Amino acid sequence: MNIIMLGAPGAGKGTFSAFLEERYSLPHIATGDIFRENIKNNTELGQKAKSYMDQGLLVPDELVVSLVADRLSKDDCKAGFILDGFPRTLVQAEALKETLADMGAQIDYALDFECPDDFIIERMAGRRVCKGCGASYHLVNVPPKQEGICDVCGGELYQREDDAPETVAKRLEVYHKETQPLIDYYEKEGVLKCVDGTIGRDNVFKVLAEMLG
């Protein structure tokens, strides 16, 4: 089962990917992790990606596709995978389709986790991260036992710049501009499934389990 995760920043893709990974024993593949792994191992593709990133440039679609294709060729992807953060553009979506076709595979589900912008802005505004160990909390949903203090290591909790309301609003604007064409694309492909991301984590888990079997 080959799955693509779609959804705005803060829609819960990471949490839902972890659920799917455990339930179906599928590798969760995030583009950022692929970049870091290749750069760490000093692969040829990693060196090329790093040359762009060091200049503050976007890694070209062709190279991103090559990195993803290389990852999907690994043994742990034979039974399927969960792609998170890719594709981001129609060019990447078409390239992914061709890459999978060459492997005798295709996308089975493109899961779009839908949340209104104001819901996401409110959700992310409440997120806090530990400066020490990186543990994540939410002031309403997963509050720390002691305000401003990490339960795990006692470190100071802070709000990341990315989670500030004005920053989130800008990220959502970019997301809608980039991703709406992808949603239309996968709807035409007949694999798009929309999931209400506002109904609570456990309810989303139930919906996914019923939807995917």
Catalytic machinery residues: 13, 88, 127, 160, 171
Handedness of CA 103, 105, 106, 108 (dihedral sign): negative
User: Which whole-number Å values give the CA distances from 132 to 44, 119, 135, 142, 151, in the listed order?
Assistant: 34, 28, 8, 18, 11
Contact (Cβ atoms closer than 8 angstroms) between residue 160 and residue 178: no
User: Which of these, 23, 208, 19, 14, lies nearest to 111 by C-alpha position?
Assistant: 208
| DSSP three-state, residue 203 | helix
CA atoms of 2 and 108, how far apart (whole Å): 5
Q: How far apart are CA 59 and CA 192, in angstroms?
A: 27
- Beta carbons of 136 and 128 less than 8 angstroms apart: yes
End-to-end CA distance of the chain: 11
Burial of 213 from C-beta contacts in 10 A (0-12 / 13-18 / 19+) = exposed
